[in-house]
Every structure is written in structure tokens, then in C-alpha cells.
Amino acid sequence: MAAQQASIERFLASAAEASKVILETVQKDSFIHCFSHLDADGVAAAGIIGKALFRLDAKFRIRITQQLDEKIVGEIAADKPHLVILTDFGSGYLDLLNEKIPKVKVLILDHHQINGTSTNENFVQVNPHMFGIDGATDVSGSGVAYFVAKAVDRANVDLAPVALVGALGDMQDKYEQRKLCCLNEIIVEDAVAAGLLKVELDLTFFGRETRPIHRTLATTTNPFIPGLSGEEDKALVFLANLNIPIKQGEKWRALRDLNEDEKKRLCSALADHLLSKGLHMEVENLIGYIYVLTKEEPNTPLRDAREFAVVLNSTGRMDRPSLGIAICMGDRGAALEESNKILEDYRKSINKYLGWVMEKPERMRELQNIYVIYGENFINEKIVGTVSSIIVSGLANNEKPLIAFANVEKERVAKFSARTTEAAIRKGVNLGTVMQLASEAHGGKGGGHNIAAGAQVPLDKIEEFVKTVDELVGKQLRGEKVGSDGNA
């Protein structure tokens, strides 16, 4: 415990140092260019930094992108900003940054595994991995951005809920009963103390604020409930047998509308149902921590932090990240209204891609150590990661990671998304290392977390890359070393 506290204090000290870089730049009335990732965590991180800079009356611009590459770094060099802030990525691109823009002041606020080394004094990095803190579970990119913003000005504590949304978007609720811990827990405490958050133990189904109860049951995948998941009519019968009304007058009831007796009856019946199917472990997933944003309107997708994360993810994945950033910075008018429309389109796209994958067996293949989804020219490369996350949770062999790719013909590359489970992590799988080594072996670039990572490789190297990933994962599962003294 003492060692962990020391690590946290060192991390917070690094965030304070980073805040000085921002304040010094603003005091000089200099221009700041912020880049961030397009997922929920990246959009949340950009919103946090954007709000902090706005409050300082700084000159700044925000851009959301899927990754850093030579083209974007070249544009940075041409723009000649006084400060570049990279949120939710950057730590995997140190060598590229040092090669292309060594004289540009760069502030990296990231939580991914660090790839490359640099002693360049122009690069200031805040990353939990530097202090022995797990960036996959203990703080997200938006969390790192929050601690820097908080160090800039204590008033930015009101951005704590946005950081929690980012953490949940990155599925960092990996602790017992889906709890956020470590640095994330500090953010939770800040939000609760500010009267912005209420933490409850409740049924953890997605859609508790906005979906009719029967639809919530029918759409759940975590936990997956045989006989109810994907079966809306059977979910209706299930609730009817429990004497739980699905409507109040003409209005559909959501999970949040159930009284305590109804919740107990529903939970008990679901537990019995899962046990009858032999799914003892799934029973533990029924109840968990819920993060309710108390200043948001009830019955809206922003009230529940996990639903809020899906809204942000949809704006980034559907090429409308400015809407998500605006919401994070406080817009509850036109931006929110438009985002709700984007969210519906996003859900339709996901369902279309999931149906397409399942339609033909050859679109998802099982290799010796991994599963592979061949998205090719059908799946949008910005949504392939979401598809991967959904499918990996339902795989028969949960110790095998899944990789999925989509072709980007105009760039002549395939973009891969890799996901795995806690069971595989416990056996030694580290997808960040695998994707980095395999992509670099075949003319590409990759990296990320142990549980989730990405890469891009030339189109003509897809099969070789897949083979290498399969081999590297096999080595990790056998307990063999891969990395600095292993071979790709």
C-alpha cells in the first residue's frame, strides 16, 4: 500500500510539472495545438484539456485522429505551434516525434504502454506506466488529462465526471463488481465531493436510464443471458412472470424506474436462470458499481456514465468528434441533440457489421492461438475496434485473443484492432507488445495496452502479420519471453 501511494504521489507530481508547461505557454499568449484519439476516452481527454484551456483564455485548436503518423507529424512541423499537447496517445510514438519534430515543445498525456526512448528536453510526458501504475486499468487518457487540468486550476475539478466517462469508455471497471480503482478512485472521490457523482451498487445492465426494461435484458452481452439476450419477446415473458410492469401509463419503464422490491425479484430470478444454465460466474456480474452523474437530466444517456461513454464513442467513430468535445465542455443544446442522432446511426452500423461477420463462417476464423475477423473492405476501420470488443466477450474460448482488421485502400494499409479477456491476461498475454512487434516486423506500426491494442500494416502484409501475431500470442501463452530479448 505504501509503495502504491508513493507511485501515485510521483505521478501527481509529474502532472503538476506538466501543468506548468501549459501555464507558461498561455502566459506568453502562444498558440497550442491539441491532438487526441477518436474513441470515448480520447474525446473526453480533448474535452477536458479544451475546457481547461478555454478557461485560461488560451489560443488553441483541437484535432481528433485515429493515430499519429508521419503525415500528421509533418503537419505539426508545418504549423509551428508553440506547444503540442497529445492526449490518449503519444507514448507509442516517441521515436517518430524525436525524428520529425525534435525542436517542438510536446506535452504527452497518455496511459498506453511506452514504446521508444527519448531524452529530448522538449518532450514532457505524463504516463502512469512511468511510475509502475497500470494504464490499462488504473487511469485512462482522460484521467491523465484531468489530473493535469486540476493542477492547472482547482476549478477544473468539475471535469472529474468527464474523466470517469473516459475511463469507463476504456472499460477500466475491471476491479471487483466493476469498480474503478487506484487513480480513477481519486477522480471518483473528487466528483462525489463536488456533488457531481453518486456511486451505487445495482444491476449493471447497459441502458438503465434510457432503454425499456425488456430491451435492456434483450440487448445485454455482459453478462450474456442465454434465452434472454437477443430475445426481446422472451424478455417480455420473463418480466411478465415476475409481475414487473414494463410501462407506467403510456411511458416505458427503464431499469432506474424499478422499486427495490422489483429489483430484488428481478435479480433473484436472473441469478436462478443463469445457475440453471450452469453459468455460475455470470451471476457475479449481475450486481456492480453504477456511476450516476447527478447534474445530468434523468432518462438521458448522459445520466449514466457508461451510456455517456457510448455517446462520445459514437461521435468519434462516426466522424463527428466535435460534437462529443462540445458536450464534454458543457454544451447541452444543439450538440447533444445532434449527438443523439449520431448515436442511433452508430448503433445501426454496429448491428450491420455484427450481422455481416456472423453471416458467413469464413469472415471470422479461429487459428491456433487467436481469432481473426476479416473485415476487409466492408467494416469501417473506425468501428472495427467496437466490433472486436463486442465479439470477444462472447467467444467460446476466452483465453484466445481476437484481432480484426479493415482495409483502408486510399492509404494502402489494413488497420487492426486487438482485444482479449482477463483470462488471457492472467496467462501472460500482452497485446500491446504483440501488436508492436508484429507490425514493426512487417513494415507497420502498433501498440496499446495488454488487453486492447491496435496496429496498421501494408495491405500486402496482412497474412504475414496475422501469422506473426498468432505465433507471438502462442509464445506468451506458453510463458515464453517476447519483447526486447525475444523475436517477432
Count of other CB atoms within 10 angstroms of residue 442? 22
Angle between helices 40-55 and 160-169 (to 10 degrees): 160
Share of the chain above pLDDT 90, in %: 75
pLDDT for 117 equals 76
Mean pLDDT value across residues 231-253: 92
Cα-based torsion angle of the residue sequence 85, 87, 92, 96 in order, rounded to the nearest 10 degrees: -30
Mean pLDDT value across residues 39-59: 97
Mean pLDDT value across residues 160-186: 95
The H-assigned helical ranges of 37-136 are 40-55, 70-79, 94-100
CA gap 177, 203 in Å, rounded? 10
pLDDT for 295 equals 96
Mean pLDDT value across residues 304-312: 96
Lowest mean pLDDT among 270-279, 326-335, 410-419: 270-279
- Among the ranges 86-100, 148-162, 385-399, which has the highest mean pLDDT value? 148-162
CA gap 114, 170 in Å, rounded? 18
At 347, the pLDDT band (50, 70, 90 cuts) reads confident
Report pLDDT digits (tens) over 125-170.
Answer: 999 999 999 999 999 999 999 999 999 999 999 999 999 999 999 9
Which 3 state secondary structure label does DSSP give 167?
helix
Mean pLDDT value across residues 348-355: 91
Whose CA is closest to 109, among 2, 32, 56? 32
Whose CA is closest to 82, among 125, 26, 36? 26
Is residue 474 predicted with pLDDT exceeding 90? Answer: yes
Mean pLDDT value across residues 265-269: 93
Give ranges for CATH 3.10.310.40 in the chain. 360-477
At 227, the pLDDT band (50, 70, 90 cuts) reads confident
Mean pLDDT value across residues 236-249: 92
pLDDT for 23 equals 98
pLDDT for 220 equals 81
DSSP 158: G
Mean pLDDT value across residues 306-315: 96
At 24, the pLDDT band (50, 70, 90 cuts) reads very high
The H-assigned helical ranges of 232-333 are 232-241, 260-276, 280-283, 305-317, 321-328
Angle between helices 160-169 and 141-152 (to 10 degrees): 170
Q: What are phi and psi for residue 276, nearest 5 degrees?
A: -65, -20
- Contact yes or no for 367/463 (Cβ under 8 A): no
Mean pLDDT value across residues 51-74: 94
pLDDT for 46 equals 98
CA gap 399, 209 in Å, rounded? 33
At 97, the pLDDT band (50, 70, 90 cuts) reads very high
Distance of CA 482 to the CA centre of its chain: 26
pLDDT for 488 equals 44
How close are the terminal C-alpha atoms of the chain, in Å? 37
Is residue 334 predicted with pLDDT exceeding 70? Answer: yes
Lowest mean pLDDT among 277-286, 287-296, 413-422: 277-286
Task: Tell the CATH topology of 2-158.
Answer: inorganic pyrophosphatase (n-terminal core) (3.90.1640)
Mean pLDDT value across residues 193-206: 94
CA gap 230, 108 in Å, rounded? 42
- The CB-side HSE value for 166 (13 A sphere, CA atoms) comes to 39
Beta bridge partners of 291: 199
At 484, the pLDDT band (50, 70, 90 cuts) reads low
Beta bridge partners of 201: 289
Is residue 408 predicted with pLDDT exceeding 90? Answer: yes
Beta bridge partners of 83: 32
pLDDT for 369 equals 95
46-to-83, 326, 459 alpha-carbon distances in Å: 15, 10, 31
pLDDT for 397 equals 67
CA gap 248, 255 in Å, rounded? 12
- Contact yes or no for 377/409 (Cβ under 8 A): yes
Round the average pLDDT of the chain to a whole number and report it. Answer: 92
CA gap 218, 231 in Å, rounded? 5
Burial state string for 72-95 with b = 16 or more CB within 10 A and e = fewer than 16? bbeebeeeebbbbbbbbbbbbbbe
Is residue 316 predicted with pLDDT exceeding 80? Answer: yes
The single-letter code of the amino acid at 372 is V
Lowest mean pLDDT among 229-233, 271-275, 425-429: 229-233
pLDDT for 181 equals 96
**Residue appearing with cell numbers 417480455:** 236
pLDDT for 486 equals 40
Which of 375 and 220 is assigned the larger pLDDT? 375
At 487, the pLDDT band (50, 70, 90 cuts) reads very low
CA gap 63, 19 in Å, rounded? 20
At 278, the pLDDT band (50, 70, 90 cuts) reads confident
pLDDT for 482 equals 83
- The CATH code of the domain at 360-477 is 3.10.310.40
- Whole-prediction pTM value? 0.89
- Contact yes or no for 214/235 (Cβ under 8 A): yes
Percentages (nearest 5) of helix, strand, coil residues in the chain: 50, 15, 35
Mean pLDDT value across residues 391-397: 75
Mean pLDDT value across residues 203-231: 85
Beta bridge partners of 125: 108
Give ranges for CATH 3.90.1640.30 in the chain. 2-158
Share of the chain above pLDDT 70, in %: 98
Helix (H) or strand (E) holding 407: strand 402-408
Mean pLDDT value across residues 264-272: 93
At 414, the pLDDT band (50, 70, 90 cuts) reads very high
Cβ neighbourhood burial of 481 (10 Å; 0-12, 13-18, 19+): exposed
Is residue 332 predicted with pLDDT exceeding 80? Answer: yes
